[in-house]
Amino acid sequence: MSPIIETQKLTHIYSKGTPFEHLALDGVDFSVDPGEFVAVIGQTGSGKSTLIQHLNGLLQPDSGKVLFNGQDIWSSKAFNNSIRFKVGLVFQYPEYQLFEETVFKDISFGPRNMGLSPSEIEERVYEAAGFVGLTEDQLAKSPFDLSGGGKRRAAIAGVIAMRPEVLILDEPTAGLDPMGSRNLMENIRAYHRENNAAVILVTHNMEEAARQANRLTVLSGGKIVMDGTPEKVFDNMEALEKMRLDTPEITQVFSCLRRMGFDVPQSVYTVEQAKSVLLDGKWGLGNA
């Protein structure tokens, strides 16, 4: 399958030519297939936010290319403008971008910019609100009257309403309560499933990355240092720790068990997996 979005030798330098010059991305080759769910992890300052802002053309590469369906997104101005609607980007703390009088109007900002008809806009707003679990009541309110979590949902709906083929989220659950986080992740999964959209999730939460993604990409110092299935990535516990990253807690528990002499598998990274492994019963934990 050919990737829906791809970067080739992507390099980004902030404040080029000043004393504050900073190489944020260094020859990154990153690609995502249609319908894939990829998590991007990496310590703070590793270049995750910089990378995703390249994917919808908000930043321009200092060298290298970004391709959407094989076409360079900087090849023409018209194509570049249309990319914003095909690759939806939800920023870190997106609730600070709300500005309209009502939540409904705010969510419709994207579709309005796409030049859709009023009936189409309305349909999309209700659909997007449905995905993130906003009620009709809430749609009529001022966005500033919603709770923190409600604002976050409204802001995410504002991007989903454009029905992007690639949905990128920068730490969407930061600062939400556990229940709210889980809920929101389920909403995003639903969008992923029903529209067969590719999702790129930037996160610091290893459990979340392990549970949601088919593939993990690890950034460090502006370079991709690991890339593969969660099993493969979390197998390198030492390498991850060197980059000041964790493995999921349950994986750590299992590696402890191994050290204590139990012959449990190493590649356990969700609680559900752990449960089924333990209930298999052949590890003899009960009579240890």
Partner 1 sequence: MLKDITLGQYFPGDTAIHRLDPRVKIVLTVEYIVLLFLAKWFFSYGLILLFLVCSAITAHIGAKTLMSGFKPLIIIIIVTAVLNILYTPGEPLVSFWKISITKEGISTAFFMVLRILLLVCGTFLLTYTTSPIRLTDGMESLLKPLKKIKVPVHELAMMMSIALRFIPTLIEETDKIISAQKARGADFTSGNIIRRAKALVPILVPLFVSAFRRADELATAMECRCYNNGENRTKLNVLVVKRADYAAIAVGVVLLAGTLIFRHYGL
Ligand X SMILES: Nc1ncnc2c1ncn2[C@@H]1O[C@H](COP(=O)(O)OP(=O)(O)OP(=O)(O)O)[C@@H](O)[C@H]1O
Identified binder of ligand X from the candidate list 6, 10, 39, 48, rule CB under 6 A: 48
Q: Tell me if 223 contacts ligand X by CB under 6 A.
A: no
Q: Tell me if 14 contacts ligand X by CB under 6 A.
A: yes
- 3-state secondary structure string across 228-253: ECHHHHHCCHHHHHHCCCCCCHHHHH
Cβ of residue 201: shortest distance to ligand X, in angstroms? 13
Identified binder of ligand X from the candidate list 7, 50, 217, 273, rule CB under 6 A: 50
Residue with tokens 């493995």: 247
Burial class of residue 57, CB neighbours in 10 A (0-12, 13-18, 19+)? buried
Characterize 73-91 residue by residue with b for buried, 16 or more Cβ atoms within 10 angstroms of its Cβ, and e for exposed: beeeeeebeebbbbbbbbb
Number of residues binding to Mg ion, judged by CB under 5 A: 1
Cβ of residue 49: shortest distance to Mg ion, in angstroms? 3
Asked whether the beta carbons of 160 and 131 are under 8 A apart, the reply is: yes
Q: Which of Mg ion, ligand X, partner 1, none is residue 98 near (CB under 5 to 8 Å by kind)?
A: partner 1
Identified binder of ligand X from the candidate list 44, 117, 119, 287, rule CB under 6 A: 44
Max CA distance (Å), the chain: 68
Stretch that binds ligand X, among 45-53, 66-74, 121-129, 226-234 (CB under 6 A): 45-53
- Three-state SS for 36? coil
- What is the Rg, in whole angstroms, of the alpha carbon atoms belonging to the chain? 21
Q: Is the dihedral of CA 52, 169, 210, 191 positive or negative?
A: negative
Q: Tell me if 172 contacts ligand X by CB under 6 A.
A: no
Stretch that binds Mg ion, among 15-23, 41-49, 95-103, 279-287 (CB under 5 A): 41-49
Give the Cα separation of 234 and 30 in Å (integer): 19
Identified binder of Mg ion from the candidate list 28, 42, 47, 49, rule CB under 5 A: 49
Contacting residues toward partner 1, per CB under 8 A? 15, 19, 53, 56, 58, 81, 84-85, 88-91, 94, 96-99, 109-110, 113-114, 144, 158-159, 162
Binding site for ligand X (CB under 6 A): 14-15, 22, 24, 42, 44-50
Binding site for Mg ion (CB under 5 A): 49
